[in-house]
Amino acid sequence: MIQNRSRSYFGKIIVFLAFSLSEIFGQNTTSKKQKSLEIEPTVVTVSAEALPLSASSAAVTILTEEFIRGSHAGNMMDLLRQVPFLYLSQTGGRGGLTTVTIRGGDPNFTLVMVDGIPVNDPTNILGGSFDFSTLSVENIKQIEIVRGPMSALYGSESVGGVINIITRGGENEPNLFVNGILGNFNSRQIGFRTGGPLKSGNYSLAGSHFNVDEQTEKDGLSLGALSFNSSLPLGQDKFLQLTTRYQDSRARGFPENSGGPEFSILRESKIVNSKQLIFGLKHEQQYKSWWIYGFEFDLFSRWQDSLTPSILDAMPPSFRAQPSLNTQSDFQRIRYGFKSHLDLQPELSLNLGIKVRSEDGTNSTLIAEQFPSGFDLQRETLATYGELLYRSNQLTASFGGRLDNPEGFEMELSPRAGISWSFSEKSRVKASWGEGFKLPSFFALGEPNVGNPQLKPEKSQGIDIGTEHILGESGIKVSVSFFNNSFKDLIDFSPQLFQLVNRTEARTRGVEFGTVLPVKERWQIEGHLQFVDWKLYGTSEPLRDRPRWRGGTSLNWEVTRRTNLRWKTLWVGPRFDFQLPVQGREIVGGYSTSSLVLDYQLPYGLVAYSRVDNVFNRKYHEFIGFPNSGIYARVGLHYQILGH
């Protein structure tokens, strides 16, 4: 299906090719790695141009390549679960729906990108939120998590924040790595990564396949991925960059709101099969010493087939019961545009751009095995953006905005301003303000039963201010941030009208604390704590799946030159929840969970490692009726055959 739909865009890709040719919380694992991390990470997601982390005005968490490699995470769920100030929730075992919320916003308020290419799917019933259970971690170089509205750069979907997953580019030196993992629940994973020179350019190729069988009851996941990146110089001061990624996943488990293994009346699994393709092409040239311009083209294509059994609230069921759904959806997003960077003065630059986004989504659903339903929608958006950036040794300030003209809606102006000031070598403050918006998803607009073509975009406004400080000569790093977000025209379901409507307003505000404590040369302790206060207007319903507080600690210990140990513990407060068979119970209790990672460097390029999640085998619940499956342990071997 993906291949058939993508052929219609092949001609556009050929045309573009012809035209283009004219961490505060990044972790250290060894003392050698610690020295390498003294080079400050670069952030590419906050501004129209790359900036050092210290110059970023937004609240950003960076997961470096060393952090990702040292975590030995088998998938994105394992990697993100204990990241500071990011709340990840998982329905059941691996393969269950896994979403992320930032600062109390809805899961579909987080824009997820791979190499700057959006991968949210607006045809799903979740309103366009991203399911992280379907994303592998192979070939990832860095992950940037930006908290706060970023529509000034990215338009719709980036209402509450952005997660940008950056993969490895082409490699200049030949290399080859292979790895394998075995664990309980019959989990197994194999993967490889290679790269090197390719004629006048370079390339990077990586792939992996992961399987896990039943963990609690009738659940499991199979996930395969293949990615290829390449850079090709086109002469002096210009180059062409290609990125592509394909994923295929099959997941099963009890459906959301069904009561899970403990309370579900019908003991049937939800089955979801999905395939997705990402293709991106960038051409950039430094035409003058003060002027750089470029062209961009990207394609995201996703196909999904899901079978959701009926969800009963009682026996016999009442009108609240949900019928079975057999759904096929197909979505494509094409974007292309022009960008320009101008150095006006040594400390002042201007970034301008124009971008066209074309979206095409279809959905075909059979309700209760006899009532057909579906939609077929297209939408095109023309956007222009600009940003003025001032940078000196101590001060970085930016102001910009984006004007989106989406088909069928009024124009949306999204401004943003930010400042970062280092008033000493050990202290800095930063602040940002911005507005965001999210167009109604295709499902919300077009679903025949509950959809509403009159829906307006959801909007947000956010402000945060923070400070970071190193205490004396101890090296202890302390950070604190305050934030306040308001959301309006939130899309909600009206039982009286039996359709989706704009009516709800919400406010979230809170504080985030972080600290890094280098106890000894080979020891480092980190901690984080977040408090979120929320209020939902116009309804008696609470904001569900939003903990009021969340915190964690981690220990990194270089036991010997060859042995490294990492320990993480996470605490999460109670949350509101809703399950159809258990309507008299709305709160799921808080929980704690710990993970342990140990690796040992063997001779001849071999690294042996083990990872244990939920070390103390706590049977906590992320949702009512969905118990954690218990200890998840695996061992692995990483073999560097060629390269460094």
Structural domain count, the chain: 1
Is the model's pLDDT at 39 over the cut of 70? no
Q: For the chain, what percent of residues have pLDDT higher than 70?
A: 94
Domain that holds residue 173: 2-642
pLDDT in tens, 290-299: 999 999 999 9
Q: Quick one: average pLDDT of 10-25?
A: 36
Confidence of residue 520 (pLDDT cuts 50, 70, 90): confident
- Is beta strand 201-212 parallel, antiparallel or unpaired with respect to 523-537? unpaired
Give Cβ neighbours of residue 40 (< 8 Å, ≥ 6 apart). Answer: 52, 53, 54
Q: What is the structure's pLDDT at 30?
A: 34
Residue 583 has a CB neighbour count (10 Å cut-off) of 12
pLDDT in tens, 343-374: 999 999 999 999 999 999 999 999 999 999 99
Confidence of residue 75 (pLDDT cuts 50, 70, 90): confident
Mean pLDDT score across all residues of the chain: 89
**Residues paired with residue 191 on neighbouring β-strands, in sequence order:** 179, 208
Contact (CB, 8 A) for 150 and 434: yes
Q: What is the DSSP letter of 141?
A: E
Q: Quick one: average pLDDT of 387-414?
A: 95
Look up the pTM and report it: 0.92
The radius of gyration of the chain from alpha carbons, rounded to an integer in Å, stands at 24
Contact (CB, 8 A) for 401 and 418: no
Q: What is the structure's pLDDT at 136?
A: 87
Secondary structure E strands in 289-370:
291-308, 325-345, 348-367
- Using the structure block, give the residue that is written with the tokens 């939130």: 490
Q: Which of 5-9, 325-329, 473-477, 490-494 has the lowest mean pLDDT?
A: 5-9
Please report, in angstroms and rounded to a whole number, the separation of the first and last CA atoms in the chain: 40
**Whole-angstrom Cα distance, residue 622 to residue 104?**
16
**Residues paired with residue 278 on neighbouring β-strands, in sequence order:** 245, 300
Is the model's pLDDT at 13 over the cut of 70? no
Contact (CB, 8 A) for 402 and 414: yes
Q: Please, is 556 exposed, middle or buried when counting C-beta atoms within 10 Å of its C-beta (0-12, 13-18, 19+)?
A: buried
**CATH code for position 582:** 2.40.170.20
pLDDT in tens, 184-224: 999 999 999 999 998 889 999 999 999 999 999 999 999 99
Q: What is the DSSP string of 99-123?
A: EEESTT--GGGEEEEETTEE---TT
pLDDT in tens, 275-323: 999 999 999 999 999 999 999 999 999 999 999 999 999 999 988 899 9
Q: What is the DSSP string of 193-245?
A: EEEEEETTEEEEEEEEEEEE--SSSS-EEEEEEEEEEEEEE-STTEEEEEEEE
Residue 369's nearest CA partner among 308, 314, 426, 456 is 308
